[in-house]
Structure 1
Amino acid sequence: MSASKSRKLNKVVLAYSGGLDTSVILKWLQEEYGCEVVTFTADIGQGEEVEPARAKAQKLGVKDIYIEDLNEEFVKDYVFPMFRANAEYEGEYLLGTSIARPLIAKRLVEIAEETGAQAISHGATGKGNDQVRFELGAYALKPDIKIIAPWREWDLNSREKLLNYAEKHDIAVEGKKKKNEAPYSMDANLLHISYEGGELEDPWYEPEADMWRRTVDPELAPDQPEYVEITFKKGDPVEFNGKKLSPAKMLRKLNEVAGMHGIGRADIVENRYVGMKSRGCYETPGGTLLLKAHRAIESITLDRELAHLKDDLMPRYATLIYNGYWWSPERLSMQKLIDDTQTRVNGVVRLKLFKGNMMVVGRKSETDSLFDQSISTFEDDKGAYDQKDAEGFIKLNALRLRIQNKQK
C-alpha cells in the first residue's frame, strides 16, 4: 500500500460492472489506496442482469452500492438529442458507445458529491477512447475531481495477470476463458452492441455468423417485407404504428423490428481520438432505422438551407461526441441550434423493411410540410410557378463561369 496515496483519499466512486476487470479494480483500489470504495452500476439496456453486481460488491466489503436504471434518461437526454443532429462519425458509426459515457460520467460525479468521495475511477484502458470520454466529462462537470485510471498505473496488463490477482484475493470470476468463448470484447447498451479485439483486429477477417446478437442474418430474415410507421414530434419519435411509447420503449421496439429483418450491422475501421486506427463491428438496429426515418421527415419539413446547415455541422457535432466533448460549450451551443431546427419536424414516416434493407416509402406532415405539390408537379401547375423565371436565374449563376472561361 502507498501511504502517500492513502493520506490523500478516503473514498472513491468506481464505475462497476461486476466483471473481471472492475472487480479486480475494486480490490486493487482498496489495497493500493487504502480507501473505501463506492460502486456505481448503471443499467442502460446492456441486456445483462445488473443486480449480481450488488452481491459481488458486498462480498468485497462495499457498503455504498448504487445500482440504477437509467434507460429512460439515456434515450431521452442523450440518444434522441444526438439523433436530432443525424450524427454519424466518419459517415458510418452511430456512436453507440460514445453517447453512453457522458451519462455515466455525470452520475459518477454526482455520487461522489453525494457520498463525499474525493475521486472517481473507471476500467477503461490507456489505449482506448473511453478513458478520454469519462475523464473529459468528469472534469467538465467537477473541475477539481481526482480520477484514478488503474490501467495507466498498474502492471496487471493481461487477462492472465488479472485472473491470478482475482484468485489470490478470492474474487469470484464467472467469466474464465472457455474453449468456445467469443474471441473479442463487447460493450452493449440500449442503442447498440460493439465487438472489438481478438480476431477482429485483422481488418481482413470476416466475423463469424454467430457473433451478431441483435440482428438476424439478412439472408435468413423473413421472406415477406414489413411496413412500419414512425411518428415524430419536434424531431423525436413518439409513436410506433400509431402507439405512443416512452423513449426507452421506443428504442427497444425499433431494435426488435429492425433486428428481426437483419438491419443495423456495420463493420468499420475508425480513427480513434488517441491516434490509432481500430476495427470494430457494431449492431445498431433501432438507431439505423431511426436515422433513416428522421432524415425522411426532415426532407419535407426543413427549409433547404437549414437542412444543409445541419449537414455541414453534423461531422463536427459527431466528432465532438466521439472524442468525449458532450459537455463542452461548443456542443451545448450546437445542440441549441439543432433543437431549434426541430420545432417543425413533425409528421409520419412509412418504411418497408426487407432482408437487411429499409426503404422510405412514404412521409407526411399535416402541419409542417414544405412540400407543395402544386409547385413541384410535372403536370399543369396552373400558374403556381413561372418557368420563364428559370432563364434569368441560370444566367446569373453562370456569370462567373462565363467570365472565367472568357479569360482563358
Structure 2
Amino acid sequence: MSKVNKVVLAYSGGLDTSAIIPWLKENYDCEVIAFVADVGQGEEELVGIEEKALASGASACYIADLKEEMVKDYIFPSLKTGAVYEGKYLLGTSMARPIIAKAQVECALEVGADALCHGCTGKGNDQVRFESAYAALAPQLTVIAPWREWDLRSREALLAYLAERNIPTTATLEKIYSRDANAWHISTEGGVLEDTWNQPNELCWVWTKDPEQAPDQPELVSLTVEKGEVVAVDGQAMSPYQALVALNQKGAEHGVGRIDIVENRLVGIKSRGCYETPGGTIMMEALRAVEQLVLDKDAFEFRETLGLKASHLIYDGRWFTPLCKSLLSAAEELAQDVSGEVVVKLYKGQATVVQKRSVNSLYSEEFATFGEDEVYDHSHAGGFIRLYSLASRIRALNAQKKQ
C-alpha cells in the first residue's frame, strides 16, 4: 500500500463507510476526514452523522450543503439535453455523483489531504463515476477503494469488524434492500428484485404512493419554464431546489415517477432497480411539451441526439470531459427559446400534459387547421414533393433503362 498521510472519505454514515474509517487507519496508518454531501437525501440521514463519524475514528467531519447547486448546475443542464438512460432511467444516482466528487476534491485540497476514498463496490457504476471525476479534477491525489482491497465481503463481516473494535453502529443484519436517495430520486435494489420474475412488493417503494391507492381525483399543476428551467410552480416563483421539492410532494401523492427496470451497468453487469423520480418526471414532461412548441424539426431531432449521447456520458461518469461540456453547451443554446407555461395532470401514476403555450411557439392554428384557411396554398405541395423525392425518381428511371 502506498504511503498516505491524510485521506478524505466520501462518508454516508452507513455500514460500509463506518467500517472504512477504522480500516483506513489500521491499514494506511493515516488521518481520516469524513466528508458528507447533503444532496437532499433527507434530514433523517444526516442526524447525528458528525458524531457517528468521529466515534468511528475520523479526526473531523465536514458537511456540505449541495442541494441548490446540484439541481441548478447538474440536474437542470441534464434536463435540457433530454437525457434518459436506456429509455426510462432519469439518471438520479448518476447526476449526484459529479457534484459529490467535486466537493470532496475541494475539501481534500483545502485540508491538505493527499488521498481520496470512496465506499463503492467493485461491481457498480459509482466507482467509475467517482474516480473519473477525481482523475479530471485532482489527478495528483491517491485514490483508495477499500472494496477492491479488503477481505470483508458481507454485511455480517462488516458488523463483526465494528463490534470487535467497539465502534457503535445502528446497522443490523435485517437490511434487505440497498437504497440511494437525493433530491432528484430514490433507488431500491436487492431483496426480491434480484429475481426478475418477482414483482416489486410494497417495501420496494419509499417515496411514492401506490397508484392504485392514489387520490381518485386528478390534480392539475402549472409549471412556468424559462430557457429550459422550471422557475415557478402554480404561479409561485421558486429556486431550482424548491421547485423540485414542491413537485416531488405533488407527484409522490399521485404515485408519479415509478419505474422498475433492468439496466446495463458500465462494468458489464445487468442490474434491476426500482426508481422513484416524481418531481423529475413532471419536470421532464413539461420541458418536452414546451420543446414541441418551439423547436423546429431539425432542432428537435438534434436535441434528441444530444439526449441519447448525454445519457450515456452522465451514466458512465464522464461529466468532467470536453465532450460532455460541449453537449451541455449545445443543449443550453437550444433551450434559449424553451420558455412557456405548461399544465400537467397528475392522476394514478401518470403525469400528462394537458395545456401548453409559449410566446416562442412555432405552432400556428391558421396553418394547422383542418378547416378552411387563407394562408396555405395546397398546390405548392406538389413542387415541394417532386423536389424532395427527386433522387428516388432518378434512381427508378435509371433502373427502368437497364431493363
Question: Do Structure 1 and Structure 2 share a fold, with TM-score over 0.5?
Answer: yes
1:222-371 equivalences in 2 (<5 Å) = 222-366=215-359, 368-371=360-363
Give the whole-Å Cα distance in 2 for the aligned partners of 1:151 and 1:198. Answer: 21
Q: Give the superposed CA RMSD.
A: 1.3
* Counterpart AA for 2:284: L
- The equivalent residue for 1:133 is 129
Q: Does 1:41 align with 2:41?
A: no
1:116-195 equivalences in 2 (<5 Å) = 116-178=112-174, 181=175, 183-195=176-188
Equivalent of 2:78 in 75, 79, 82:
82
SS at match of 1:123: coil
2:155–2:173: 8 Å Cα contact kept in structure 1? no
* Counterpart AA for 2:117: S
Equivalent of 1:386 in 367, 377, 384:
377
1:192-207 equivalences in 2 (<5 Å) = 192-207=185-200
* Counterpart AA for 1:42: A
Give the gaps of 5 or more residues in structure 1.
none
- The equivalent residue for 1:107 is 103
- The 4+ residue runs of structure 1 with deviation greater than 6 A are none
Normalising by structure 1, report the TM-score.
0.95
- The equivalent residue for 2:366 is 374
Give the gaps of 5 or more residues in structure 2.
none
**Deviation for aligned residue 1:303:** 2.3
Equivalent of 1:209 in 198, 202, 215:
202
**Deviation for aligned residue 1:389:** 1.0
Equivalent of 2:5 in 10, 13, 34:
10
Give the whole-Å Cα distance in 2 for the aligned partners of 1:207 and 1:23. Answer: 30
Give the whole-Å Cα distance in 1 for the aligned partners of 2:185 and 2:61. Answer: 26
**Deviation for aligned residue 1:59:** 1.8
Give the whole-Å Cα distance in 2 for the aligned partners of 1:209 and 1:50. Answer: 25
**Deviation for aligned residue 1:305:** 1.0
2:123–2:267: 8 Å Cα contact kept in structure 1? yes
The superposition leaves residues 207-251 of structure 1 with CA deviations (integer Å, 9 ceiling, x where unpaired) of 112321111111111111111110001100000010011111110
Give the whole-Å Cα distance in 2 for the aligned partners of 1:293 and 1:246. Answer: 17
1:263–1:285: 8 Å Cα contact kept in structure 2? yes
Count of matched residue pairs = 398
1:37-76 equivalences in 2 (<5 Å) = 37-47=32-42, 48-76=44-72
**Deviation for aligned residue 1:405:** 4.3
**Deviation for aligned residue 1:404:** 4.0
1:18–1:52: 8 Å Cα contact kept in structure 2? no
Give the whole-Å Cα distance in 2 for the aligned partners of 1:59 and 1:145. Answer: 26
2:204–2:274: 8 Å Cα contact kept in structure 1? no
**Deviation for aligned residue 1:307:** 1.2
Give the whole-Å Cα distance in 2 for the aligned partners of 1:134 and 1:226. Answer: 39
2:56–2:168: 8 Å Cα contact kept in structure 1? no
Q: Does 1:29 align with 2:24?
A: yes
Give the whole-Å Cα distance in 1 for the aligned partners of 2:301 and 2:204. Answer: 38
1:232–1:345: 8 Å Cα contact kept in structure 2? yes
Moved more, 41-50 or 391-400: 391-400
Normalising by structure 2, report the TM-score.
0.96
SS at match of 1:213: coil
SS at match of 1:132: helix
2:21–2:58: 8 Å Cα contact kept in structure 1? no
* Counterpart AA for 1:332: K
Give the whole-Å Cα distance in 1 for the aligned partners of 2:322 and 2:351. Answer: 36
* Counterpart AA for 1:25: I
**Deviation for aligned residue 1:371:** 1.5
Give the whole-Å Cα distance in 2 for the aligned partners of 1:219 and 1:201. Answer: 24
Give the share of equivalent positions with the same residue, in percent.
51
2:205–2:274: 8 Å Cα contact kept in structure 1? no
Give the whole-Å Cα distance in 2 for the aligned partners of 1:82 and 1:13. Answer: 28
**Deviation for aligned residue 1:358:** 2.0
* Counterpart AA for 1:369: S
SS at match of 2:231: strand
The superposition leaves residues 170-226 of structure 1 with CA deviations (integer Å, 9 ceiling, x where unpaired) of 121212123xx5x22111111111111232111111111232111111111111111
Moved more, 46-55 or 221-230: 46-55
* Counterpart AA for 2:296: D
1:50–1:67: 8 Å Cα contact kept in structure 2? no
Give the whole-Å Cα distance in 2 for the aligned partners of 1:132 and 1:107. Answer: 17
Give the whole-Å Cα distance in 1 for the aligned partners of 2:322 and 2:60. Answer: 33
**Deviation for aligned residue 1:357:** 1.4
- The equivalent residue for 2:387 is 396
SS at match of 1:254: helix
